[in-house]
Chains A and B, each alone.
Chain A
Amino acid sequence: MQTGMSNPQIVTPGRPLLARLVGGQTRQGARKALVGYLLISPWLIGLLVFVAGPILASLYLSLTSYDMLSPPRFVGLANYHKAFFEDPLFWPSLGRTFYFAIVFVPLSLVGALLLAMLLNQGLIGTNIFRTAFFLPSLTPSVALSVLWLWLLHPQLGAANQVLRLVGLGSFPWLTDSSTVIPSIIFISLATSTGGGSMLIFLAGLQGVPKELEEAATVDGAGRWTKFRHVTLPMITPTLFFNLILGVISALQVFTVAFVATNGGPDYGSWFIALHIYQQAFAYLRLGYGATLAWIFLLVVLLLTMLNFASSRKWVFYRGGS
């Protein structure tokens, strides 16, 4: 027993190796710890086989050239060099992904918050309104893609028909490389603003203590002041949660672009997730695909860390922790 246990007297000298591995100070504690490990063992295996293992394997593959026909050939950093300096689609696809995320995430957060505030006004029929806002987000993404492709059809779609009626002419939507990303942002907003994040905001708003808002009213605060200085600070944890998950999922934008435009027109909606898919599974460049996936992972982690770092400045936790 040289491990420096904090409480050596209650540990029997011949404390079995297993107990030392799983933890627990007493015989019963060790037994309980072992049961705990047994209970979580499916997840440990799952984590290892389907998550952690693949991510590490991906790191290795990113240093190889591999097509599944012959064994992986180690090429060092050549794939990274290729991505950064030779692949003409890499930087633009990353740029488009950022473009999408930077416009979409703030708009969707503000939109979801505004919808949640509407639902929090105690209007008659709030349940019906909530359902109406929420249903589009239940639409399977493939169905949604074909549906919007048709809705935004330049000649035959309803969207341009409305624009023509109000005299705005027709808009090329998904058929022009300069309007395709704004269109995908529009589709994503129309389908996800009323989704999970709206419900989470609504719960956050309902958690704001009524006394605080009443106190502000007594002090003569207007609606805006009350929102800005009472409600908003109180829901910053909710806002932060939605921001973190919103950024991560926005960077993975894939299905609408893949199904509705197939990355086009003229690579206009060629996002990084499409580039990874194309390289790995259409061209079977699994090594290079893994490189792109790892660069993507680092980008996502970096942005998430930046979000966490910034949160110290603006997220307000009750109780000051």
Chain B
Amino acid sequence: MAAVTKPVIESTRARQRSGIRPQTIRLTILYVVTIVLALLFMFPLFWALMSGLKTPQEMYAFPPVIIPKVMRPTNFIDAFTAFPFALWYRNTLEVVVLATLGTVASASLVAYGFARFDFRFKNVIFMLTLATMMLPSQVSLIPRYILFHDFGWIDTLYPLWVPAWFGGSAFAIFLMRQFFLTLPRELDEAALIDGAGYFRIFWNILAPLCKPALATLAILTLIANWDSFLDPVIFLQSQEHFTVAIGIWYFKQQEFQVTPTDQLLMASAVTSIIPPIALFFSFQRYFVQGIVLSGLKE
């Protein structure tokens, strides 16, 4: 009896084990792959941070040192004072804040127009608006340079934020319009019957409901402007008007000719990463939503 049941039990166990196994193996592989990839993606940022904390000796040691023996957080202060970074951060902040305010304010009004009003050529204008998303910025760069030159705006911060007050961008308008379309029209109609004007409907009824979309747009605009390089590199000329991005580029060029201070360059690069990352962590939900919304063209 025992001799007969034993193999039976064993075979069920084997079956159970083999029934679990492929699933477990699959999950293990998935976790290992995901964790390794996550570490690989984070490594450059980690390496930059560690490099920013090194002494010059460790910076140029061969073979390279990954984690410095003595951390030198003072590098971050040294980098900040080696060049007028305080001024450059102030300039960047000015551009980023004004451009974001302009984009949020004007894009939401324009989007309100596209979402709620019928007027002649609306669809044509809207299609043209979407088409501008596919234009490379290089093609308008030269005339814009000439235009801003005629305005006397070269080597000022104006070219970097004033255009944002004219509707922001096609993307901004599109994002806000999509959001307005999700709000029921009955809201407007009820308010209209109660005697509210179109601007009051926008300001008192729709805008408060749009807060998530406005936050999303604000964050995406902040980060895009923080990252901006091509426009500032063309429109700014003197050190005192640089943004952080141009400042780091300038630092890198100087550094190449004078003394090697790569650890300070790394420290300044790492510092410039902090604001977008901080924004991302504070508003992660809006952020992900916004990007996803941009991909759901219907």
Contact = CB atoms under 8 A, between A and B. Distances in A.
Interface of A: 21-24, 29, 32-40, 42-47, 49-55, 57-58, 61, 68, 115, 118, 121, 123, 128-129, 131-136, 138-143, 146-148, 150-151, 155-158, 161, 164, 190-191, 194, 196, 199-200, 202-204, 238, 241-242, 244, 248, 251-252, 254-255, 258-259, 273, 276-277, 280-281, 286, 289-290, 293-294, 296-297, 300-301, 304
Interface of B: 27, 30-31, 33-35, 37-45, 47-48, 51, 59-64, 66, 106-107, 109-110, 112-114, 116-122, 125, 128-129, 132, 134-147, 149, 163, 165-167, 173, 198, 223, 226-227, 229-230, 233-234, 244-246, 248-249, 252, 262, 265-266, 269-270, 272-273, 276-277, 280, 284, 288, 291-292, 294-297
A53 B143 contact: yes
B245 to A, nearest CB: 4
A248 B6 CA distance: 67
A43 B42 CA distance: 40
A39 B273 contact: no
Nearest to A39: B113
Contacts of A202: 292
Contact of B272 (A29, A53, A143, A194): A143
A195 to B, nearest CB: 9
Contacts of B142: 54, 58, 61, 280, 286, 289-290, 293
Nearest to B126: A40
A296 B136 contact: yes
B61 to A, nearest CB: 8
Contacts of B145: 280-281, 286
A118 B29 CA distance: 11
A39 B297 contact: no
Contacts of A194: 41
Contact of A33 (B117, B146, B269): B117
Contacts of B297: 241
B166 A45 contact: yes
Given A158-B64, A290-B142, 17 more contacts: A22-B120, A35-B198, A68-B146, A135-B41, A138-B223, A139-B276, A140-B273, A142-B269, A143-B245, A143-B272, A151-B47, A202-B292, A203-B295, A276-B138, A289-B142, A294-B139, A300-B134
10 contacts: A32-B117, A33-B118, A39-B113, A43-B173, A138-B277, A142-B269, A143-B269, A147-B47, A158-B66, A273-B138
B137 A252 contact: yes
B26 to A, nearest CB: 9
Nearest to A164: B63
Contacts of A158: 43, 47, 64, 66
Majority secondary structure, B binding face: helix
B40, B62, B119, B288 interface centre (most CB from chain A within 10 Å): B119
A164 B229 CA distance: 35
A155 B118 contact: no
A155 B61 CA distance: 9
A21 B262 CA distance: 62
A257 to B, nearest CB: 12
Contact of A200 (B51, B234, B292): B292
B277 A123 contact: no
B138 A293 contact: yes
Nearest to A32: B117
Contact of A143 (B117, B262, B270, B295): B270
B119 A33 contact: yes
B44 A36 contact: no
Contacts of A254: 229-230
- Nearest 8 pairs between A and B by C-beta? A46-B166, A36-B117, A23-B120, A39-B113, A43-B167, A200-B295, A54-B143, A54-B140
Contacts of B227: 140-141
B120 A297 contact: no
B128 to A, nearest CB: 7
Contacts of B48: 143, 147, 150-151
Contacts of A47: 128-129, 132, 166-167
Contact of A142 (B43, B62, B245): B245
A43 B106 CA distance: 8
Contacts of A22: 119-120
B42 A147 contact: no
